[in-house]
Amino acid sequence: MASLIKTLALILKTRDIGEADRVVVFLTPAAGQVTALAKHARKSRRRYLNCLEPCSLVQVLYREKPQQELAYLESGELVEAFPEVRQKLTSLAAAACLSESALELVGATDNLEELFAALQSALRLLAAGLPSRSLLCSHLVRVLALGGYGPRWQACQICGQTPAGLAWFSPQQGGILCPNCLNQNRGERLYLLHPGTRKLVLAALNLPLQNLARLRFPALAQTETLTLLRGFIRFILGKDLNTLAFLDKVDWS
């Protein structure tokens, strides 16, 4: 039996196939990632009302059949398009990076509702013009943790002590190392992490979501966070996220 599901969804990715159809990948708060075929999406504007753009919040109606990977998108209705996000390269780059992270790095997790809320909140804040690169840091840290890939920032992964000063991030260990345990590293590239950056990362993980809007990562903390997360994600996926690699080309000033 096919089941018909109506839900809010964030569009993560779309791909045209054939003459008229489109495959849409979206995130829902209850079912996680869904890949659905939108039949005649490029011809039947009526059924989808131009709502199938990445980084849009949409009310979707889709049909799912057991044992079938591809769901069938019946209709979609735009709830919020966040047009301001697309008007600036910086906010667009941050939004695209969060979307790709959700696409690639959300495994089986119990935190889908929180994850959905975090992504939705990030899009609202980016649309409102808040500093994009700082928002990307706080929300990317959060999305990784909620998706089930969160590195361990609190204690050294070898001795268990909490470093008071500098720490180093090890993608292989999935967390930080203290200065005493650095010599146990066997040729892996480690990433320097200043105490101020680590404090901000912990705040991004632990603050109530609505308070993330006020959390500001200064430029050094942004660079440290994004560089080490890029290394960590590359280690997990065995490849770079396209959007994270693209961040270097963006003028954030």
Residues in contact with Zn ion by the rule CB under 5 A: 156, 158-159, 178, 181
Q: Which of 181/247 has CB closer to Zn ion?
A: 181
Rounded least distance, CB 193 to Zn ion, Å: 13
Q: Which of 179/218 has CB closer to Zn ion?
A: 179
What are the angstrom distances between the C-alpha of 193 and each of 28, 125, 132, 199, 235? 34, 26, 21, 10, 18
From the list 78, 71, 66, 77, the residue with the least C-alpha distance to 23 is 71
Rounded least distance, CB 147 to Zn ion, Å: 27
Token couple for 162 = 């909490």
Q: Which of 85/156 has CB closer to Zn ion?
A: 156
Rounded least distance, CB 153 to Zn ion, Å: 14
Q: Which of 147/171 has CB closer to Zn ion?
A: 171
Rounded least distance, CB 191 to Zn ion, Å: 16
Q: Give the whole-angstrom CA distance, residue 186 versus residue 194.
A: 22
Q: Which of 56/157 has CB closer to Zn ion?
A: 157
Rounded least distance, CB 159 to Zn ion, Å: 3
Strand partners, 110: none
